[in-house]
Chain A
Amino acid sequence: MAPNYIPPADAALIPQDCERGPLSCFALWLGALSVILLIGVYAAYLVLSRGLGMTALDDYFGFGLWITFDLGVIALGAGAFFTGLLRYILNIDPLKNVINLAVIIGFICYTGAMIVLVLDIGQPLRAWFGYWHANVHSMLTEVIFCITCYCIVLIIEYIPLILEQKQINRVPLFHAIAHNLHVVMPLFAGMGAFLSTFHQGSLGGMYGVLFGRPYAFRDGFFIWPWTFFLFILSAVASGPALTMLIAALMEKMTGRKLVSQDVKMLMGKIAGTMLLVYTVFKILDTGAWICGLAPSAGLTFDQFFYGWIYGKWLLFAEIALCGVLPCFMLCSASMRANPRLLYAAAVLDCTGVVINRYVLTVQTLAMPSMPFDQWATYVPNWVEWAPCFLVLAYGGILLSLSYRYLPVFPQEVELNGGQRPGSKPNTWGL
């Protein structure tokens, strides 16, 4: 404990030996996030009460920002399943120091995606038809099943963490549940890995099977188009990077060491390795697409791009700037050792995946499918942005609460052990 540390009013709820800022600052921070949340709630109200016409979506862009956002957060939330897989199944022990964070981020990403999906479907009251009247041939059915099942897995993975809260854990029943869940956690990690692999893949498959849309359509293996595998690879390449970035961000905001640098570098190395695999396949896939599929559909490379908004720079940014470059950076041990370069590479890595999800969603639909059709353009409006920020704010609130009250970071006490003369003041008051 820092010598000048004054325990906040809610000290009884805060994990043992962890410093936290004053409750008032924390409340203020939550209040700020809640304002963003409420704007999102208002946008959601508009959409649910009046219809999706409130958005900028249209008959050409049935999918837009929301689907891009969903795909983005689901890919970036892949840190949860992949870290779980490595930690519990492949026994890479150091990852235990970020596994809790990865689970929380995964939980936020998946539940956030579900919130946005409820808005995105025109008839949310019928959402359960996805189970009851499932079409087993649809990639989306697989997505619906796997995402909801995996969401339950994430809840189960999150529960022991909640039950380990200082006060809750005193109840013997809850203590027992938390303990036993920890014991069977490898089972859930395995289930999570299985479900997650499939729905990440199916999300990619969703686009790859669109044989009427040459921008997205891909050949494949058995019933799975290549995008199926590319989505899995890109998710595991970016998920760990985001987990690591968020840990770093939380350290910046709280002014406390939460995860040791070697663990972060390990996460970077994992991301880099997967990114290498992904980038190789992505380049191969792009080549096959340009040289094989496109001409067989009667299209030239140039026809896939339009103006600035859907220009070739997007392809360059996705593959070279946000694929090859971060891959190189993350795979190089010396660059990883430099925190700035490590974070920059991770940011590029995540950006690349988001660009990938964006172009596959939006550019696919913007491209004229019939020769006498024209390029269409799409710019989301505030009603679409607000729920996305709602999810970010919700994630912020959940992470803040978890950080403050739950023993998320096993290394925290050790890393901030007792005397830290050089420690920065707790600037954000969290």
Chain B
Amino acid sequence: MSANKHFNVKWGMAIDLDKCTGCGACMVACQAENNLAPLADASNKQRVPNWLVVYELSNKKSFPDHEIAYLPRPCQQCAEQPCATVCPVVATERNEEGGIVSQIYPRCIGCRYCMAACPYHARCFNWFDPVWPKGMEKALTPDVSTRPRGVVEKCTFCHHRFMQAKDKVRAGGGEVYVRGTDNKLHCAVPEDGYVTSCAEVCPNGAIVFGDLNNPEHRVHRLVTGNANAFRLLERLGTDTAVYYISRREWVRRLGDNYLPDEDTQKPKQILPKRH
């Protein structure tokens, strides 16, 4: 829980907003992969458990100069988490190689303080017990545990896939962490050996997943030194692991709060750190 723990491996995403058409495949895949229950009425969006939400962005101009973009928002896996630091029972933490913020359902007491803390609305609460139509529970995957009412859940970058990928390496006799050509420790799981469900199903390849610290991974190359890459609410200093890419200036500007006369390109003032 110490501040901004450094890990050799930092799983992250680069989401290309110029490729995302907002079809929602990632949202559906996420639910099937992570055993979320369907809802007959899902129109109250503040009560709908969705680990990944696709927002529609608008450049706020009138027809015909109007433009739209879609922004998928998984858990941002902050290195400086607003959430984990406030959890009273260590049900959520960022403490494992890879830098994924965990969420432990049997530990969570459901106080929802983490939800109040998260500015990305990445966390959802189980307001009721999950209900699957009769028989549909047979389509649950054994990879992710089902959650009862009264606990908070969130995107885990399909962490179970990371566990499975590591086991595959081990079952093949390999070591999970190996020294790369840059003499740093990297994960021996091949780049396509661990991919989140949302990234996997996106037909547009809008979501690129990999190790931000590994120079051989696409995601590293995409976000390093790319002036078109930005992160959400960067000035909060959350140091998130999810990057967004857009060549459209107005889209990039929607990544953070700016005063009307402020320049997006200006180095951002990071709010003072708390923890």
Interface residues of A (CB under 8 A from B): 50-53, 57-63, 120-124, 126-127, 129-130, 133-135, 137-141, 144, 206, 209-214, 217, 219, 225, 293, 295-300, 303, 364-365, 369-373, 376
Contact = CB atoms under 8 A, between A and B. Distances in A.
Interface in B259-273: 259-260, 262, 269, 271-273
Contact of B254 (A206, A295, A296, A371): A371
A149 to B, nearest CB: 15
Given A53-B149, A123-B109, A298 B116 contact: no
B128 A53 contact: yes
B71 A372 contact: yes
A242 B152 CA distance: 36
A59 B107 contact: no
B125 A297 contact: no
A374 to B, nearest CB: 10
- Find the residue from A58, A135, A212 having the highest chain B CB count within 10 A: A212
A62 B117 CA distance: 10
Contacts of A134: 88-90
A206 B109 contact: no
B258 A133 contact: no
Nearest to B46: A58
Interface string B219-254: 000000000000011011110000000000000011
Nearest to B256: A298
B257 A122 contact: no
Given A51-B149, A369-B233, A372-B57, A297 B110 contact: no
Contacts of A293: 271
B21 interface: no
Nearest to B269: A296
B150 A52 contact: yes
Contacts of A298: 235, 256-259, 262
17 contacts: A50-B128, A62-B113, A121-B111, A123-B110, A123-B148, A126-B109, A129-B107, A135-B89, A137-B1, A211-B273, A212-B120, A225-B274, A297-B236, A369-B119, A370-B120, A371-B253, A371-B258
B71 A217 contact: no
Interface string B109-132: 111110111111101111111000
A122 B90 contact: no
A137 B85 contact: yes
A129 B262 contact: no
Given A135-B89, A299-B257, A53 B47 contact: yes
Nearest to A365: B116
Contacts of A62: 112-113, 115-116, 125
Contact of B46 (A59, A120, A211): A59
* Chain B binding surface, main DSSP class: loop
Contacts of A138: 85-88, 113
Nearest to A128: B109
A124 B71 CA distance: 36
Contacts of A210: 82, 86, 116-117
A50 B148 CA distance: 11
B107 A209 contact: no
A369 B121 contact: yes
Interface residues of B, number: 63
A211 B111 contact: no
A122 B149 contact: yes
Given A121-B109, A138-B113, A144 B88 contact: yes
A297 B271 contact: yes
A129 B91 CA distance: 10
* The 7 A-B residue pairs with the shortest CB-CB distance in the complex, in nearest-first order: A122-B110, A122-B150, A212-B119, A62-B112, A53-B127, A298-B257, A369-B119
Given A213-B117, A370-B119, A371-B254, 10 more contacts: A51-B126, A51-B129, A62-B112, A121-B109, A122-B109, A122-B152, A124-B109, A130-B89, A212-B120, A371-B256
B62 interface: no
Contacts of B258: 298, 371
B109 A127 contact: yes
B140 interface: no
Given A60-B121, A62-B116, A63-B112, A51 B150 contact: yes
Contact of B109 (A57, A59, A129): A129
Contact of A209 (B85, B108, B119, B232): B85
A60 B46 contact: yes
Contacts of A52: 110, 125, 127, 149-150
A376 B118 CA distance: 15
A211 B236 CA distance: 7
B86 A206 contact: yes
A63 B55 CA distance: 24
Contacts of A123: 108-110, 148, 150-151
A383 to B, nearest CB: 12
B116 to A, nearest CB: 5
A380 to B, nearest CB: 14
B138 interface: no
A212 B120 CA distance: 8
- Find the residue from B71, B117, B256 having the highest chain A CB count within 10 A: B117
B44 interface: yes
B46 A206 contact: no
- Find the residue from B89, B127, B257 having the highest chain A CB count within 10 A: B89
Nearest to A132: B89
Contacts of A376: 46
A299 B271 CA distance: 12
Interface string B125-149: 1111100000000000000000011
B179 interface: no
B66 interface: no
Contact of B82 (A135, A212, A365): A212
A61 B115 CA distance: 8
A370 B232 contact: yes
B275 interface: yes
B253 to A, nearest CB: 8
Contact of B86 (A209, A225, A365): A209
B236 to A, nearest CB: 6
Contacts of B236: 211-212, 297
Contacts of B48: 59
B249 to A, nearest CB: 14
Nearest to B260: A300
B269 to A, nearest CB: 5
- Find the residue from B148, B259, B274 having the highest chain A CB count within 10 A: B274
